[in-house]
Copies of this chain bind each other. A is one copy, B any other.
Amino acid sequence: MNLRELSERLNLSQTTVSRALNGYPEVNEQTRARVAAAAAKFNYRPNVRARTLATGRAMAIGHIIPFSNQNEMVNVVFADFIAGAGEVYAGHGYSMSLALVRDEDELSAYRGVAEKGAVDGIIVHSPARDDPRIAVLADLDIPFLVHGRVSEVKTPYAWLDVNNTCAIATGTGHLLDLGHRRIGLINGEERLDFAQRRRDGYLAALAAAGLAPDPALMHSAEMSEPRGHSAAHRMLDLPQPPTALVASSLVLALGVRRAIEERGLRMGRDVSVLCFDDELSYLPNGTDRPQFTAMRSSVRAAGRRCAELLMGQIAEPDQPLPTELWEADLVIGASTGPCPQRDL
């Protein structure tokens, strides 16, 4: 059942039927009711493909998720971000088009997704420091918004980011306040922008306390549980082990905790742990008395907001490009405590 058939059945023109169904005012209310009834009766649904061709809008947002070959890990936060964005899209009649893209086909993939007309806008995930995607997208002349930032790109672009530097500086400062002096950092891959910024925050906090960084206390790798586990072990094996660890994600922190406990130590007493908590729905850190002391910022909320900002950009392309910087909250949990007076 298509528009032509329906309009023939009703003895009306396609124009009138289309307008009746789309709520245009220049249709007699009686006619509109008749059309609506027939549409329901014959179970008519307009063909999306034809509609998008005619209107010129795809009513879809593209999300491009990069994943490399060496490291097939799908970003842990991705599901929650998508959930947040998806909620908003649904409320606005947009659909969401996902593309998982291997690093090496990045460029072609952008063409694939942004290929003329498949989507009205794009959200860029997991940007690297000098992410080439920004230039490509700017060139493609399609609205896009970056979840995160791209330090090395100086041309303006739309983004929403957590203040990672400040967050980790605050967190590290909290550990310093507790008296810790040897503090390790277990970070994500530092080619990614957020990880680089978190590292900056860590270094800034140490510097502010007059401490020199120790390369042996800085680790960077993909953010999985076993990585956190092995990195923590390695640091705790040092002649001068850290008394506190900063983990760049809750998943890493889980591995850190396992390592601590395997050594017969207690987290929060013998070793303090602070992590960044994206408030993932399936890995909640607790509300009243969180398991981990953390810098907290909901990635799901970020997804929602990114969706809103991008749709706003699409609706009003002449507005300045939106940028938003969110501050993370420090929440005190059970994983931190005063520095043990080990050598006194």
Contacts and interface: CB of A to CB of B under 8 A. Distances in A.
Interface stretch (A108-116, A146-154, A309-317, A324-332): A108-116
B282 A73 contact: yes
A100 B116 contact: no
A113 B95 contact: yes
A83 B82 CA distance: 13
Nearest to A1: B116
Nearest to A44: B116
Contact of A78 (B47, B79, B109, B286): B79
Contact of A74 (B48, B74, B95, B281): B281
Contact of A286 (B226, B254, B284): B226
Contact of A90 (B101, B116, B251, B283): B101
A45 B223 contact: no
Interface in A50-80: 50, 52-53, 58, 60, 65, 67, 72-76, 78-80
A48 B60 CA distance: 12
23 contacts: A45-B111, A45-B115, A46-B116, A47-B116, A47-B117, A49-B58, A50-B53, A50-B117, A65-B83, A65-B86, A73-B281, A74-B80, A87-B100, A90-B100, A90-B109, A95-B97, A95-B113, A96-B99, A98-B98, A224-B284, A226-B284, A251-B282, A254-B254
Interface residues of A, number: 54
A45 B142 CA distance: 14
A34 to B, nearest CB: 21
A258 interface: yes
